[in-house]
Amino acid sequence: MQTLEDESIYIIREVVAQFQKPVLLFSGGKDSITLARLAQKAFYPAKIPFPFLHIDTGHNFPETIEFRDQLVEELGVELIVRYVQDSIDQNKVKEETGKHASRNALQTVTLLDAIEEFGFDACMGGARRDEEKSRAKERIFSVRDDFGQWDAKKQRPELFNIFNGKIHFGENVRAFPISNWTEEDVWNYINHEGIGLPTIYFAHTRKLVKRDGAFLAFSDYLNLVDTDEIVETVVRFRTVGDMTCTAAFVSEASAIEDIMYENKSSKSSERGARIDDKRSEAALEQRKKGGYF
């Protein structure tokens, strides 16, 4: 755990040292919350020297937004929020329709517009290599071209923890300080540090929509169909995305130790609860190529 923390703090400091205007991409999920704690440690007793950026789809869990606002106030950092709804209103993206409609992919345009608006040259995110195969082949310093695109075949070598942040005008870098962590590492760290989390990570009774064997949080954002079943049961969320595309797990785990035991015993992966990732075999990689997180 100490080795991972040291490496992550080193990466965060490298980002600040090599780039003129970095930002931390903050969703209110456990990985970005862990990243916030690491950033706090990296510069303590000074304040975190960069803002947080949240791309708000408008379909977030209320508990996550509440926790986001509470945390940034405690940390004393600047929070920048840009809304997917604005991109829709400006006709830059089109709202999806139908049973599986989601705003997840629409975030890309809003993110790229925010990067250009503020001139961010490095965006730190909480992605980890163990989450998904496309993330497993991405570098810690991942260069994006002047269109925000990622090319898996044009990545720089990273030998001996030497990170090359040199970029051309218009390009930017996505940096992933906890890339080498696993889901278990994150939970161990949260437990060790006593880090607070949104309540949806722990078992709670919730009204749900049972759809194709998955449990989605009931909300006005879902396009209900005849085959959907409305139920109420005790669940928790293993990962946090939009309410339209993040499935819950039936669980009684209300303590971190119980959650870690369940995760180890589960036959599903962490991102197995992300409905959007199941649209195709390479769904996340295709979104990343277009500029996604």
Tell me: the pLDDT tens digits for 31-46?
999 999 999 999 999 9
Question: Average pLDDT of the chain?
Answer: 90
Look at residue 286 in the predicted model and tell me its pLDDT: 65
User: Is the Cα torsion angle 284, 29, 50, 129 positive or negative in sign?
Assistant: negative
Number of structural domains (the chain) is: 2
Considering the domain architecture, whether residues 68 and 95 belong to the same structural domain is answered as: yes
Q: Are residues 158 and 172 in the same domain?
A: yes
Does the structure show a pLDDT above 70 at 280?
A: no
- Where residue 293 falls among pLDDT bands split at 50, 70, 90? low
Phi then psi for residue 206, to 5 deg, are -145, 145
Q: What mean pLDDT comes out for the span 204-217?
A: 94
pLDDT given at position 205: 97
Inform me whether the pLDDT recorded for 84 exceeds 90.
yes
**Same domain, yes or no: 162 and 228:** no
Give the residue, 89 or 292, on which the prediction is more confident.
89
| Statement to judge: residues 136 and 201 lie in one domain | no
161 and 202 housed in the same domain: no
CATH code of 39's domain:
3.40.50.620
Domain span at residue 154 reads 1-189+281-290
For residue 17, report the phi and psi dihedrals to the nearest 5 degrees. Answer: -75, -35
Residues 48 and 141 in one domain: yes
| 169 and 150 inside one domain | yes
What pLDDT does 109 receive? 94
**Same-domain check for residues 183 and 83:** yes
